[in-house]
Structure 1
């Protein structure tokens, strides 16, 4: 076992806090999602200050920020950076009470390094002193991913991928995703997040199911996957439009032995449900 404090050190251990972020007040804004997407709220939640002093950064010159890695479980956290702390004066409560300045130390491990603690941590004790950390929670280095960690396949009903995430999963042949998406046919939806328009598509072939179809969309040489409607969109927009705006989710899955006619029938059903021929991006 490699101890966390033996792997990540700070300029002044006695004046360093470690923050175990879980969410930003509701489960629609989970800390890992904010960190993964470089959302400004990731920094915001670490700057937050309340009158409950044990969860503040008072007397801390440095902060190690962690985000709960919920795909693995409540005991797992991803490294989100080492920061220099500056208290805002006059003091601010129930708001951003600190300025945080990212340090270069260990920045290559951000979104890659996963630690494991002995037991889930309570919301009232998520801010710990670095010098007591190993004794209290026994954190150990669990995994160091070769690049930004996306996590294991979360289940078909929980798939919601930005184009950048889809490209990474496909390019790395991420095992759990490839196995899950290759073993099913299905109906999927692509959302243009800039305007809310939907495209309903299907993977009905017998060779690698949804994985094969989505691999075509992930190819930077042809982001349209051969879709004529997407070609028209790119012709009227810049080349990065799909990369910036498209998101991929699964509506329905089928056994690989399901007949093509059955899947096409269900595809047409979903096109009707969302009226994507009239108000979306389907043209047939």
Structure 2
């Protein structure tokens, strides 16, 4: 613990009596869905559908206070909400509770980053066990969003990350991609197969081209469309990754981009059915 550290509860101001009836839910990456990306796209999905979900065991009771923390990376978590359970809906495998937001601390929702080393498996724990170890490292001026454009050579995005960029219309990403031609790579992280594509003036530049993948998963490409038909859109959402091989400004002739696309297909072997999804 850092000397003179600020603890999360110094911001939430829960009394000792309240802490005795408080539980904390740690939302972690399960290998398929990254909760911080879900939060950035739709905070209520995390703060209601995830926080108040019950499978078999009854984690909460009427009167309990529940805190949501979402892992950002390693030992850093984002505080996203604190609510009081007002009703048990008797639901299993669904949202099982009604809850009221704690207005006294709602100003901090989605803005406070805490440091905590989680060394236990349970996703829900009693607050008294950990509350004195939740150290505040930063209070953000606005709702958390770390999707700043990293430069063309450093773009590597999951489906959920790309979807958040598209739906949120992030200015720096839009400015960087909307007038760029490119040769891009889609990687199927489960099978290892590759798809090399191009964004030209005819195909609407890179931002518009990538929007089609977010919309339907395949962008009209033959083998990707077949994959979506066979395995479903959720397969794409879970396993596809998007990156840029080469980018060009809008004045570069489309023929140059298409030639480089063919070069990358040959280099990576993505036309071979066992290696990739390119069919031309």
Bin the TM-score by the shorter chain.
0.5 to 0.7
Q: In the TM superposition, what are the counterparts of 1:1-284 in structure 2 within 5 Å?
A: 7-12=11-16, 36=36, 78-79=78-79, 113-115=110-112, 129=132, 139-144=138-143, 149-205=145-201, 209-220=205-216, 223-278=217-272, 279-284=275-280
Offset of residue 152 of structure 1: 1.6
Secondary structure (helix, strand or coil) at the match of 1:280 reads: coil
Shift of 1:189: 0.6
Following TM superposition, by how much is the alpha carbon of 1:105 offset from its aligned partner in structure 2, in angstroms?
Answer: 8.9
Question: CA-to-partner distance for each residue in 1:188-246, whole Å, 9 max, x for gaps?
Answer: 111112201000001011686210100111114xx321112212222322343222222
CA distance in 1, matches of 2:149, 2:101: 27
Unaligned runs of 5+ in 1: 17-28, 39-61, 71-75, 83-103
TM-score when normalising by structure 2: 0.56
SS in 1 for 2:142: strand
Give the root-mean-square deviation of aligned CA atoms: 4.5
CA distance in 2, matches of 1:106, 1:191: 41
- Shift of the 10–69 alpha-carbon distance from structure 1 to 2, 3 Å rule, reads farther
Closer/same/farther in 2, CA of residues 255 and 141 from structure 1, 3 Å limit = closer
Count of matched residue pairs: 208
Q: Gapped runs of 5+ residues in structure 2?
A: 1-6, 21-28, 39-65, 83-98, 118-129
> Counterparts of 2:246 and 2:197 in 1: how far apart (Å)?
11
CA distance in 2, matches of 1:244, 1:80: 24
**1:37 Cα deviation after fit:** 6.3
CA distance in structure 2 between the partners assigned to 1:258 and 1:155 by the alignment: 19
Q: Normalization by structure 1: what TM-score?
A: 0.56
Aligned counterparts of 1:207 and 1:232: Cα–Cα separation in 2? 21
SS at match of 1:249: strand
Task: After TM superposition, give the deviation of residue 77 of structure 1 in Å.
Answer: 7.0
